[in-house]
């Protein structure tokens, strides 16, 4: 930590800017946090490998349910219906379910209260576990599951006889013709952040006893990567930089509550789509969508805050399962593709709507020099990454 403080002071001095030094400090802490999680072999599980061209195993990744106590501060309630429907579907289709952290909102509520309020969602998750297809990671809001004793005490009875282990991170080896060519590395994404990792105990006390009361009166949101554009951007850049520095690795996180696909946010994809737009009508539609999405973040980017060029498709984010309009987003890995999906579909029916997708082959070709490129498949304009009307009030 002392090294990182010294480095930040150096940047501050060189750039003559307090802000530059602080931003640098936040970023290098996230990089160090991810390094530490990746090296923490005791809390890293390897899941069944996937082949670039194989149909099985299938994975569905959901994060940030933030299940509460069915009161005003509970952000999952509106999404419960879509979430339960999605779990029923993925179970029958033989998917593995990855719960990527912040499943329970335990900064605001006590565990027994939350678990009591969402028994059906837990039962649906437990079915995956019974069949060896449930893989769970802790986030900052449910980091009590770091403790095997507390998992045993609160969760085990719902999950049956088979022992439930909650990990810090997961890896899915990726193969081509039986040979390892890379891996998906999955982690919640709060690692190394000052308020969500180092000061987590203090944050929990603050949220539970002070913020909740304040929020009840003012309806103000907590200032976190889920609600603050700049914090989210900083987190996204740090995630990308960490992943890009690894070999043959694709990072998947949650935590910020906004999906990222092939290292690009919805905004960044729309900026690109605007350049590609062929007709005035296309251009108008994309321009409208872009402003719609921009104004959604409480602090839209300044004109000079360009999105970094993402050369590698090494960073994905599953979004969240607690959008205030009741929608949920997740990532499917199936049939040689990775897909960003949203439940429900456009008509409000319990089906997955594909927002965008890419072949695993082309994703891993960007991180592994030995894999030849294939024809890129551009994201169709008619498939916006995040549906209109997504807003939320959750702390990341």
CB-based burial, 266-284: b 16+ in 10 Å, e otherwise? bbbbbbebbeebeeeeebe
Q: Of 256 and 313, which has the nearer Cβ to Mn ion?
A: 256
Query: What minimum distance in Å lies between the beta carbon of 256 and Mn ion?
Result: 8
134, 128 Cβ separation under 8 angstroms: yes
Both tokens of residue 167?
Answer: 């990990």
Query: What is the C-alpha separation between 291 and 278, in angstroms, rounded?
Result: 19
Stretch that binds Mn ion, among 100-108, 115-123, 235-243, 358-366 (CB under 5 A): 100-108
Element (H, E) at 154: none
Query: What is the C-alpha separation between 127 and 91, in angstroms, rounded?
Result: 8
Query: What minimum distance in Å lies between the beta carbon of 101 and Mn ion?
Result: 6
Stretch that binds Mn ion, among 81-89, 130-138, 236-244, 251-259 (CB under 5 A): 251-259
Element (H, E) at 368: none
Beta bridge partners of 205: none
| Count of residues touching Mn ion (by CB under 5 A) | 6
Q: Of 235 and 269, which has the nearer Cβ to Mn ion?
A: 235
Query: What minimum distance in Å lies between the beta carbon of 120 and Mn ion?
Result: 23
Asked if 139 is part of the footprint of Mn ion (rule: CB under 5 A), the reply reads: yes
Which CA distances in Å does 163 have to 27, 40, 66?
36, 21, 23
Asked if 326 is part of the footprint of Mn ion (rule: CB under 5 A), the reply reads: no
Element (H, E) at 329: strand 328-334
Query: What is the C-alpha separation between 89 and 9, in angstroms, rounded?
Result: 52
In the stretch 215-234, what mask flags binding to Mn ion with x, by CB under 5 A?
A: --------------------
Query: What minimum distance in Å lies between the beta carbon of 224 and Mn ion?
Result: 8
Asked if 319 is part of the footprint of Mn ion (rule: CB under 5 A), the reply reads: no
Element (H, E) at 78: none
Asked if 103 is part of the footprint of Mn ion (rule: CB under 5 A), the reply reads: no
Query: What minimum distance in Å lies between the beta carbon of 165 and Mn ion?
Result: 20
Query: What minimum distance in Å lies between the beta carbon of 211 and Mn ion?
Result: 15
Q: Of 140 and 296, which has the nearer Cβ to Mn ion?
A: 140
Query: What is the C-alpha separation between 238 and 338, in angstroms, rounded?
Result: 22
Asked if 255 is part of the footprint of Mn ion (rule: CB under 5 A), the reply reads: yes
Number of residue whose CB is nearest Mn ion:
255
Place of tokens 């984010």: 317
What are residue 196's phi and psi, to 5 degrees?
-95, -15
Stretch that binds Mn ion, among 82-90, 96-104, 275-283, 318-326 (CB under 5 A): 96-104
Element (H, E) at 266: helix 266-276
Q: Of 140 and 176, which has the nearer Cβ to Mn ion?
A: 140
Query: What minimum distance in Å lies between the beta carbon of 30 and Mn ion?
Result: 13
Question: Is residue 117 exposed (0-12), middle (13-18) or buried (19+ Cβ within 10 Å)?
Answer: buried
Binding test (CB under 5 A) with Mn ion, winner from 268, 320, 321, 396: 396
Binding test (CB under 5 A) with Mn ion, winner from 74, 75, 80, 102: 102
Q: Of 189 and 344, which has the nearer Cβ to Mn ion?
A: 189
Stretch that binds Mn ion, among 7-15, 131-139, 264-272, 299-307 (CB under 5 A): 131-139
Query: What is the C-alpha separation between 378 and 148, in angstroms, rounded?
Result: 45
CB-based burial, 237-249: b 16+ in 10 Å, e otherwise? bbbbbbbbebebb
Binding test (CB under 5 A) with Mn ion, winner from 77, 140, 191, 322: 140
Q: Of 77 and 140, which has the nearer Cβ to Mn ion?
A: 140
| Contacting Mn ion within 151-210 (CB under 5 A) | 190
Applying CB under 5 A, the residues found at the interface with Mn ion are 102, 139-140, 190, 255, 396
């Amino acid at each position: 930590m002392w090294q990182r403080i010294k480095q930040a002071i150096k940047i501050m001095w060189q750039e003559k800017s307090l802000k530059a030094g602080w931003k640098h400090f936040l970023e290098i802490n996230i990089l160090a946090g991810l390094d530490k999680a990746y090296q923490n072999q005791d809390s890293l599980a390897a899941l069944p490998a996937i082949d670039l061209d194989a149909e099985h195993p299938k994975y569905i990744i959901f994060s940030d349910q933030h299940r509460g106590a069915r009161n005003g501060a509970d952000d999952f309630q509106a999404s419960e219906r879509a979430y339960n429907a999605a779990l029923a579907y993925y179970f029958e289709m033989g998917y593995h379910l990855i719960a990527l952290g912040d499943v329970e909102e335990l900064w605001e509520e006590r565990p027994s209260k939350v678990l009591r309020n969402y028994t059906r969602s837990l039962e649906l998750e437990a079915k995956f576990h019974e069949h060896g297809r449930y893989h769970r990671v802790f986030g900052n809001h449910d980091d009590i599951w770091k403790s095997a004793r507390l998992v045993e005490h609160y969760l085990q009875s719902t999950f049956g006889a088979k022992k439930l282990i909650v990990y810090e991170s997961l890896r899915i080896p990726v193969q081509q013709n039986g040979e390892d060519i890379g891996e998906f590395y999955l982690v919640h994404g709060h690692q190394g952040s000052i308020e969500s990792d180092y000061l987590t105990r203090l944050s929990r006390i603050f949220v539970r006893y002070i913020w909740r009361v304040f929020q009840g009166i003012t309806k103000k949101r907590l200032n976190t990567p889920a609600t603050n554009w700049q914090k989210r951007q900083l987190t996204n850049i740090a995630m990308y930089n960490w992943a890009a520095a690894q070999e043959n690795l694709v990072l998947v996180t949650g935590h910020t509550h906004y999906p990222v696909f092939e290292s690009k946010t919805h905004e960044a994809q729309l900026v690109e789509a605007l350049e590609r737009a062929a007709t005035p009508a296309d251009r108008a539609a994309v321009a409208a969508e872009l402003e719609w999405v921009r104004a959604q973040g409480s602090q839209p980017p300044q004109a000079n805050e360009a999105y970094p060029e993402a050369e590698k498709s090494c960073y994905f984010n599953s979004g969240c399962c607690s959008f205030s309009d009741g929608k949920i987003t997740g990532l499917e890995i199936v049939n040689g593709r990775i897909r960003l999906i949203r439940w429900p579909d456009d008509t409000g029916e319990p089906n997955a709507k594909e927002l965008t997708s890419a072949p695993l082959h082309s994703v891993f070709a960007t991180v592994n020099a030995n894999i030849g490129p294939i024809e890129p498949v551009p994201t169709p304009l008619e498939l916006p990454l995040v549906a209109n009307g997504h807003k939320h009030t959750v702390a990341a």
